Chains A and B, each alone.
Chain A
Amino acid sequence: MIVEKLSVSELQGKARCLRCHIIGMTAAAGSGHPGGSLSAADIIAALYFQVMRHDPQNPQWEDRDRFVLSKGHAAPALYAALAESGYFPRQMLYGLRKCESPLQGHPHMNSLPGVEASTGSLGQGLSIANGMALAARLDSRDYRVYCLLGDGELDEGQIWEAAMAAAHYRLDGVTAIVDRNRQQIDGSTEDVMRLEPLADKWRAFGWQTLETNGHDMEAILEALAAAARVEGRPTVIIAHTIKGKGASLMEGNLHFHGNAPTYEETQQCLREIQTEERCKVCDVRYPLPLRDR
């Protein structure tokens, strides 16, 4: 069964739900990367619950659209979307990073249904996405490939090798989305290794280059629709986002790039994201039962 396409307001609710999971999962794991997962939550909600053609009952469906999470540390956001889509039970989310769980710290395609690539060592996802798009062309299939890149990840040279190749091979089936939250572990992306003028770089590489507010659901959908319309070249959407978006204590706070919230922080975040004591959508409750803490 193909996942039902949600309306804009439903997608906004779903993104809230993904955020609750992200907070809860990383809190339960005691480690992980909530900041860059939260910044990507709206984009991932748009892809999984409206834009992409996929079937949780048939994860190997040959005509499915592919999503490659090149910024593998945002695994909690991907796992939350997969669970909410129905690839596996929601309770499994809370086994994140534990030995007995298939939810690896970074995505592993052989460990969990719905994960399309093994990532985590940054810079490799776009090449994989290109390979998938070339395979689609050879097989005359019309599936599309979406690749979510971190902005810090753009420091990696392989990204630009892949950017050249996608334009060279006119891979209009490839849509890259840059989660432009402007922060990486050691500080601002512009201080660590200047990326700007970023849009000009992508344009110079031959890509249709769009910029959007990565937290405005309608704008995200509009950009993704524009990506699907273009022929003869790949599209990149530079999605301007805020690291930790949705949880005010995490917003723009680099500590939460790679640290899980404490018990108290978790309650505060969930209280802020959820409008009610118990989420009607995803059944996450607060106070969250935290294991192994």
Chain B
Amino acid sequence: MTYGIRSRSETDKDYQEPGGRTDASRTASLVSTREAYGRTLLALGRENRDIVVLDADLAGSTKTGLFSAEFPERHFQMGIAEANMIGTAAGLASCGKIPFASTFAVFATCRAFDQLRMSVAYPCLNVKVVATHGGITVGEDGASHHAIEDVALACALPDFVVIVVADAKETEQAIRAVAQHVGPVYVRLSRPSVPVIYQDRCDFVIGRAIRLLEGKDLTIVANGLMVSRALEAASLLSREGVSARVLDMHTVKPLDKEAVRMAAADTGAIVAAEEHLLQGGLGTAVAQAVAESRPVPMRFVAIRDQYARSGKPDQLLEMYGLTSQNIVQAAREVVQEK
């Protein structure tokens, strides 16, 4: 028997959503954004020899193993030392490499924030931080491992592009776009597998929202796993005669302000939904854009100024107000206010 604290990946089995609570409209098939990342990284590694990968003792969880198996000389295991990992990535980038540095979202941003600021953002180096385990659906590991501030932190860094993906197909397209983009990027992936949003294709362009559903009474702007909840909510709302536009706002920065302006102009009400603190995330960015273009009533589905508990991801989403029902309720309120 072993005592003491073990690797952070020990409890990290792929989470499968429990049955029973899921809405009938939710698609049965679940896909892993992390595995999509691992596969895409391998493909990119074959296409471009400048792509290198760094891990901080979580390679098993971040799914960079496919890459390291084929390109061991281009994969750098940095140990449990996130600050040094980001600094090393900066040095590699300054010499023309395209480093992808991966760990859990909470460590990538909170632990290494000054390195992201000083060594990456300030000199605008071509470092890609692809973080897995975003949000509270990390689940049982609890608040120490939940990333609920990561998007706010990343958005606070000048020149950083900040992306929160919704499913595997989108991950694949996003990672390809990120490799092409010159400059620092933060990408947030999830621990649990997520419902399929994009079956065959996803026309991913950095900074351009994807309109998943057309509607006239309000717009639900969501990203990450809240996109599937937004689609469920739209379906529920349609039974009440409310027609909702749904935008997948995968890029929080730079925000697609035109899509927000059109949402305000066309539908007159907006609900923003994200698996993140209310402060500094997608809702904040959308509200700023709305305030600058065309003020309309808004509601926010997000975590309210608190850390979450340990628990099953779906239980936590319910406990902290991140379900399709929460979106529906916010939508009813905002439509009434028009």
| Contact status B88-A128, CB under 8 Å | yes
Q: Is A71 an interface residue (CB 8 A)?
A: no
| Contact status A165-B123, CB under 8 Å | no
Segment of B72-80, B255-263, B270-278 engaged in the interface with chain A: B72-80
Q: Is B87 an interface residue (CB 8 A)?
A: yes
| Contact status A162-B87, CB under 8 Å | yes
| Contact status B89-A138, CB under 8 Å | no
B interface footprint on A115-128 (CB within 8 Å = 1, 0 otherwise): 01111110110111
Question: What count of chain B residues pass the 8 Å CB interface test?
Answer: 30
For B83, give its contact among A68, A127, A138 (CB under 8 Å).
A127
What residues of chain B lie closer than 8 Å to A116, measured between beta carbons?
94
| Contact status A158-B87, CB under 8 Å | yes
| Contact status B119-A129, CB under 8 Å | no
| Contact status A165-B122, CB under 8 Å | no
| Contact status A118-B123, CB under 8 Å | yes
B interface footprint on A66-84 (CB within 8 Å = 1, 0 otherwise): 0010000000000000000
B interface footprint on A151-164 (CB within 8 Å = 1, 0 otherwise): 00000011001101
Bound-state CA distance A128–B83 (Å) is: 11
| Contact status B119-A127, CB under 8 Å | yes
| Contact status B91-A132, CB under 8 Å | yes
Whether A117 touches B115, Cβ cut-off 8 Å, given contacts A135-B97, A165-B78, is no
Whether A129 touches B91, Cβ cut-off 8 Å, given contacts A108-B122, A138-B74, A157-B83, is yes
A interface footprint on B174-199 (CB within 8 Å = 1, 0 otherwise): 00000000000000000000000000
For B91, give its contact among A123, A131, A158 (CB under 8 Å).
A131
Q: Is A134 an interface residue (CB 8 A)?
A: yes
Of A117, A157, A168, chain B has the most CB atoms within 10 Å of the CB of A117
For B94, give its contact among A119, A124, A128 (CB under 8 Å).
A128
Q: Is B124 an interface residue (CB 8 A)?
A: yes
Q: Is A204 an interface residue (CB 8 A)?
A: no
When C-beta atoms are compared, the residue in chain A nearest to B99 turns out to be: A131
When C-beta atoms are compared, the residue in chain B nearest to A169 turns out to be: B76
What residues of chain B lie closer than 8 Å to A132, measured between beta carbons?
91-92, 94-95
Q: Is A110 an interface residue (CB 8 A)?
A: yes
Q: Which of B113-154 contact A (CB under 8 A)?
A: 114-115, 117-119, 122-124
- Residue pairs across A and B with CB atoms within 8 Å: the count is 106
A interface footprint on B282-294 (CB within 8 Å = 1, 0 otherwise): 0000000000000
Q: Is A109 an interface residue (CB 8 A)?
A: yes
- Minimal beta-carbon separation of A27 from chain B (angstroms): 27
Q: Is B209 an interface residue (CB 8 A)?
A: no
When C-beta atoms are compared, the residue in chain A nearest to B96 turns out to be: A135
- Minimal beta-carbon separation of B124 from chain A (angstroms): 6
- Minimal beta-carbon separation of B152 from chain A (angstroms): 20
Bound-state CA distance A134–B54 (Å) is: 12
Size category, A interface: 20 to 34
Whether A118 touches B92, Cβ cut-off 8 Å, given contacts A138-B73, A165-B84, is no
Q: Is A130 an interface residue (CB 8 A)?
A: yes
| Contact status B92-A161, CB under 8 Å | no
Q: Is A228 an interface residue (CB 8 A)?
A: no
A interface footprint on B50-79 (CB within 8 Å = 1, 0 otherwise): 001000000000000000000001101011
| Contact status B83-A118, CB under 8 Å | no
What residues of chain B lie closer than 8 Å to A135, measured between beta carbons?
91-92, 94-97
Bound-state CA distance A136–B95 (Å) is: 8
B interface footprint on A95-122 (CB within 8 Å = 1, 0 otherwise): 0000000000000111000001111110
Bound-state CA distance A164–B52 (Å) is: 20
When C-beta atoms are compared, the residue in chain B nearest to A162 turns out to be: B84
Bound-state CA distance A69–B87 (Å) is: 14
For A127, give its contact among B95, B99, B115 (CB under 8 Å).
B115
What residues of chain A lie closer than 8 Å to B83, measured between beta carbons?
123-124, 127, 157-158, 161
For B93, give its contact among A62, A129, A131 (CB under 8 Å).
A131
Bound-state CA distance A157–B81 (Å) is: 10
Bound-state CA distance A135–B257 (Å) is: 38
Bound-state CA distance A28–B52 (Å) is: 44
| Contact status A131-B118, CB under 8 Å | no
8 closest cross-chain pairs (CB), A and B: A131-B91, A127-B87, A135-B95, A161-B84, A161-B81, A128-B91, A131-B88, A131-B92
20 A–B contact pairs at CB < 8 A?
A68-B91, A108-B122, A110-B124, A116-B94, A118-B118, A118-B123, A127-B90, A128-B87, A128-B88, A128-B90, A128-B119, A131-B89, A132-B92, A134-B52, A135-B91, A138-B74, A138-B97, A158-B84, A164-B79, A164-B81
Interface residues of B (CB under 8 A from A): 52, 73-74, 76, 78-79, 81, 83-84, 86-97, 99, 114-115, 117-119, 122-124
